[in-house]
């Protein structure tokens, strides 16, 4: 028997259902995994890439697939958001896609638990693909949930340190920092001010609202565990939590404090524009993804620059080389009536070494298979290979999936904003409250 929910909980659940998929909200249309993959078929492939270069690379990838599978035609729909995709999958019908991709790895828990993306393990098994031998473990971790592999990695992103070599030379620094204490020391040396005391350049700005500085990405250098075995939030009992926030605070204070740095941050240009703060030399060091190197070359950066792994905590110096990983994921819609043909496309895009290498080179992302990561056909630029090494590092980490998608990450972000602004007087109590909020959000999404 189902008891009615109180009005407030019913409203909250309705609001959740209006966004991304959660268990109990979805009613996926029935597809078929009994089609003949050798029979003529037309597939619809939805993806989120939007720039001309990205769409061109996807078009070339699909053309290679169709040449190999002349009986399969692929209709490509670009620039599709997760929200649009999920609405279509809920509705089902002939307009729904067969193959789907997403940039949001945090939502894989929802994709799997909702049933909207099919479990790929049976397809992997019957076509002889050993996923543990094909994909690095962190990438498999963020494409599965509760033992169900409902997605596969379709290229990856890794995060590292970009640094201004000219500024380093001027400051007498001979190599990029490897530990957090070295990062703080170098950041102070690299910070420059005008005669009136205003900033000209900041060594490293840890402010969590800056560009890619989401707190979870820097926190990854500690290798934290967000959840216990039962799925409960455990940030309050995670020793790294306090060390992480203490390190961020020390970085702020060493360079002038949160207020002045935040004021300086508001003078920065758009992240993807020619006024990016690293490109305009307002930042001497910056955390960013592998794509930034291509953008710096295209913009003809007026200084020498290099890349390195992000520094690690001093008491984990042996883990230097690790980093934060995320990426694009691909899967098959539950409502697809051509799931075996759809699997052929997913397998080609995610497993075929030559395809993965060519696509990675075309859009300057990190390849997502072991074979592609070691391919001699990859871009040989050493600044790009830094990110390949990070992706290959067995200690690199990705965020764990959750049934409520990235809601726990949003909760961490909001908490981190308050911590850095000095609005959390008791960090221990604040972390306990954060755990309680994450657990309440998870419970609500499961009801």
DSSP letters spanning 42-61: EEEEE----SHHHHHHHHHH
Pairing assessment for the beta strands 72-77 and 305-308 based on DSSP bridges: unpaired
Question: What are the phi and psi torsion angles at 164 (to 5°)?
Answer: -85, 105
Query: Same domain, yes or no, for 199 and 222?
Result: yes
Domain end point (choices 262, 291, 323): 323
Per the structure block, which two tokens stand in for 56?
């061109």
Query: Same domain, yes or no, for 113 and 168?
Result: no
Domain end point (choices 297, 323, 349): 323
Question: Which CATH number goes with the domain that contains 233?
Answer: 3.40.190.10
Query: Same domain, yes or no, for 304 and 374?
Result: no
pTM, to two decimals: 0.87
Query: Same domain, yes or no, for 153 and 165?
Result: no
272, part of any domain: yes
Query: Same domain, yes or no, for 313 and 379?
Result: no
Query: Same domain, yes or no, for 230 and 144?
Result: no
Q: Mark the ranges of the chain whose per-residue pLDDT is less than 70.
A: 1-30, 446-447
443, part of any domain: no
| pLDDT for res 330 | 97
313 and 221 Cβ atoms separated by less than 8 Å:
yes
67, part of any domain: yes
- Which residues constitute the domain of residue 78? 29-157+325-392
424, part of any domain: no
| pLDDT for res 165 | 98
Query: Same domain, yes or no, for 214 and 306?
Result: yes
| pLDDT for res 447 | 65
Pairing assessment for the beta strands 192-193 and 152-164 based on DSSP bridges: unpaired
Query: Same domain, yes or no, for 113 and 178?
Result: no
| pLDDT for res 27 | 44
Residue 15, classed as helix, strand or coil, is helix
What's the CA gap between 80 and 86, in Å, rounded?
10
Buried b (16+ CB within 10 A) or exposed e, 201-238: bbbbbbbbebbebbbbbbbbbbebebbeeebebbbbeb
Query: Same domain, yes or no, for 314 and 230?
Result: yes
35, part of any domain: yes
The length of the chain in residues reads 447
Domain end point (choices 376, 392, 408): 392
Q: 351: exposed, middle or buried (C-beta count within 10 Å: 0-12, 13-18, 19+)?
A: buried
| pLDDT for res 379 | 85
| pLDDT for res 404 | 75
| pLDDT for res 211 | 97
Total structural domains within the chain: 2
CB count, 10 Å around CB of 75? 12
Query: Same domain, yes or no, for 260 and 367?
Result: no
| pLDDT for res 429 | 98
| pLDDT for res 83 | 85
Residue 13, H or E segment: helix 7-18
Query: Same domain, yes or no, for 181 and 129?
Result: no
95, part of any domain: yes
| pLDDT for res 29 | 55
447, part of any domain: no
Query: Same domain, yes or no, for 192 and 72?
Result: no
423, part of any domain: no
| pLDDT for res 397 | 93
């Amino acid at each position: 028997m189902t008891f009615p929910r109180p009005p407030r909980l019913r409203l909250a659940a309705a609001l959740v259902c209006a966004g991304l998929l959660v268990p109990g909200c979805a009613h996926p249309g029935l597809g078929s995994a009994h089609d003949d993959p050798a029979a003529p078929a037309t597939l619809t492939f939805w993806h989120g890439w939007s720039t001309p270069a990205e769409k061109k690379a996807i078009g070339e990838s699909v053309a290679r697939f169709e040449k190999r599978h002349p009986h399969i035609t692929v209709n490509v729909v670009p620039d599709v958001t997760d929200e649009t995709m999920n609405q279509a999958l809920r509705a089902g019908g002939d307009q729904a896609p067969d193959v789907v991709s997403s940039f949001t790895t945090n939502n894989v828990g929802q994709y799997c638990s909702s049933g909207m993306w099919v479990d790929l393990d049976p397809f992997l098994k019957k076509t002889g693909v050993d996923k543990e031998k094909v994909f690095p473990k962190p990438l498999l971790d963020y494409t599965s949930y509760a033992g169900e592999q409902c997605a596969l990695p379709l290229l990856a992103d890794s995060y590292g340190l970009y640094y201004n070599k000219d500024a380093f030379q001027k400051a007498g620094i001979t190599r990029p920092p490897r530990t957090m204490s070295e990062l703080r020391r170098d950041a102070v040396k690299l910070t420059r001010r005008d005669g009136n005391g205003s900033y000209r350049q900041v060594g490293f700005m840890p402010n969590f609202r800056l560009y890619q500085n989401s707190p979870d990405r820097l926190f990854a250098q500690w290798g934290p565990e967000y959840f216990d075995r039962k799925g409960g939030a455990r940030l309050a009992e995670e020793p790294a939590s306090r060390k992480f926030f203490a390190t961020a605070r020390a970085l702020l204070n060493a360079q002038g404090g949160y207020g002045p740095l935040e004021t300086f941050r508001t003078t920065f240009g758009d992240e993807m524009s020619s006024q990016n703060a690293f490109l305009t030399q307002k930042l001497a060091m910056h955390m960013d993804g592998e794509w930034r190197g291509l953008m710096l070359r295209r913009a003809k950066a007026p200084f020498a620059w290099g890349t390195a792994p992000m520094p690690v905590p001093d008491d984990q110096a042996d883990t230097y080389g690790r980093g934060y990983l995320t990426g694009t994921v691909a899967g098959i819609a539950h409502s697809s009536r051509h799931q075996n043909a759809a699997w052929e496309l997913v397998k080609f895009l995610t497993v075929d070494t030559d395809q993965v290498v060519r696509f990675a080179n075309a859009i300057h992302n990190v390849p997502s298979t072991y074979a592609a990561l070691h391919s001699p056909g990859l871009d040989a630029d050493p600044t790009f290979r830094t990110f390949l090494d990070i992706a290959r590092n067995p200690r690199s980490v990705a965020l764990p999936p959750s049934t409520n998608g990235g809601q726990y990450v949003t909760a961490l972000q909001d908490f981190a904003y308050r911590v850095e602004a000095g609005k959390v007087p008791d960090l221990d109590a604040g972390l306990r409250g954060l755990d309680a909020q994450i657990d309440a959000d998870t419970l609500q999404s499961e009801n």
